[in-house]
Amino acid sequence: MNRRQFLKISLSTLLALNCIPFNSKGLSEASNGLKIPRKNKWLPRIDSDEFGFLAIGDMGTGWKTQKDLIALMSTLPANQFPAVLLLGDIIYPAAKADLLESNLIQPFEPMLKAGNIFYPCWGNHDWLEKEAIHLKQYFDAPDYYSFSIGPADFWALNSNKFDSAQANWLSNSLANSKSPWKIVFLHHSPYSSGKVHHTNKNMIQHVCPILNDYKVDLCLSGHNHLYERTEKIGNVTYIVSGGGSASLHSYEETVDFPRAYIDNIHHFIAVQGNSHNLSLKAFNLKGQAFDQLRLIK
Ligand SMILES: [Fe+2]
């Protein structure tokens, strides 16, 4: 058995341990009037009670770690995990047009071919190059947007410029959401033990109250190059998933928020769920699940 076969078996076995019945997936636009990314084909809307997605942050290096993680992600079937959330810093050191091929398209080629659909949010490195204009054009994506997968609604925020217009849009869109699961993702981590970027007071002051008021279940971010999960803070579980390839950050041993798990480790996240259950697992470079979270409605 070669290494790739071993990892494939290892991943599928681990997922099967916590298997949620999962047959068909559907994606749809949330009715927020914003244009959403559709560079690649969209799956037709299917009235499904199930959803699944992968997430990776701070991956845009073009390095071996990025490609190794993508190889692992590729072993998970695209029909079960159709969506891939890119948690920002999609291209290092800045999202220049001539780096799209080497740092984004070529590394993700196996998943593009498999039919995965990508949902980006913009990192500070992406924003350095003309407010991520080349990435926005590639993904045909706006600053911020929302979408749905079965019983889960998603909001991609632009944490580089979280102004009152975005705050109002987020509040109104969350207020109109009828889905059981509400998932927000953005680049700058509201809460983190990372020694390089730390907790972000601007996000805590301006974003977190909205997430808490509208009972957002999960807030995913990157920026700090590590994996970190909080206990619920108010209504929200915060997860930092910034270990997608770039050099890892060290972290504080003690923090002033309820931390449930911390490790500076290269990884990605896989989530499956239905209207009543959400199962999240974080996988390392060996394809091993090193942390998991189960939420129940
Ligand atoms: Fe960043």
Model pLDDT for residues 180-198, shown as the tens digit of each residue? 999 999 999 999 999 999 9
| CA 289 – ligand 1 centroid, Å | 24
| CA 92 – ligand 1 centroid, Å | 9
* pLDDT for position 43: 46
Strands 145-149 and 50-56: unpaired
Query: 182 near 174, Cβ under 8 Å?
Result: yes
206 has pLDDT over 50? yes
| CA 100 – ligand 1 centroid, Å | 17
| CA 204 – ligand 1 centroid, Å | 17
Which of 7-21, 100-114, 196-210, 272-286 is predicted least confidently? 7-21
| DSSP structure string for 112-162 | HHHT-EEEE---HHHHHTGGGHHHHHHHT--SSEEEEETTEEEEE--TTS-
Which of 84-93, 131-140, 200-209 is predicted least confidently? 131-140
292 has pLDDT over 60? yes
Q: Which residues pair with 52 in a beta bridge?
A: 272
CA distance 31 to 45: 14
| CA 5 – ligand 1 centroid, Å | 33
The encoded tokens of residue 69 equal: 């993680």
Amino acid sitting at position 221: S
| CA 40 – ligand 1 centroid, Å | 25
Residues 6+ apart with CB under 8 A from 97: 134
| CA 35 – ligand 1 centroid, Å | 25
* pLDDT for position 288: 96
Q: What is the mean pLDDT of residues 250-259?
A: 96
Q: What is the mean pLDDT of residues 279-290?
A: 97
Q: What is the pTM of this model?
A: 0.87
| CA 224 – ligand 1 centroid, Å | 7
CA distance 56 to 44: 24
Per-residue pLDDT of 82-117, as tens digits, reads 889 999 999 999 999 999 999 998 999 888 888 788
* Helix (H/G/I), strand (E/B), else coil: 2: coil
* pLDDT for position 5: 42
Query: 294 near 181, Cβ under 8 Å?
Result: no
CA distance 121 to 144: 7
Helix (H) or strand (E) holding 200: none
Residue 165: CATH number of its domain: 3.60.21.10
Average pLDDT of the chain, as a whole number: 86
Count how many domains the chain has.
1
Per-residue pLDDT of 26-67, as tens digits, reads 344 433 333 344 444 444 445 578 899 999 999 999 999 999
pLDDT: is 174 or 115 the higher one? 174
pLDDT: is 238 or 139 the higher one? 238
Query: 175 near 194, Cβ under 8 Å?
Result: no
Most trustworthy range by pLDDT among 12-16, 68-72, 82-86: 68-72
Order of all β-strands in the sheet with 145-149: 27-29, 145-149, 152-156, 181-185, 218-221, 237-241, 227-230, 259-263
Burial class of 98 by CB neighbour count within 10 A (0 to 12, 13 to 18, 19+): exposed
* pLDDT for position 47: 56
| CA 87 – ligand 1 centroid, Å | 9
Most trustworthy range by pLDDT among 110-114, 139-143, 215-219: 215-219
Query: 281 near 292, Cβ under 8 Å?
Result: yes
| CA 180 – ligand 1 centroid, Å | 30
Query: 279 near 19, Cβ under 8 Å?
Result: no
Range of the domain at 212: 3-296
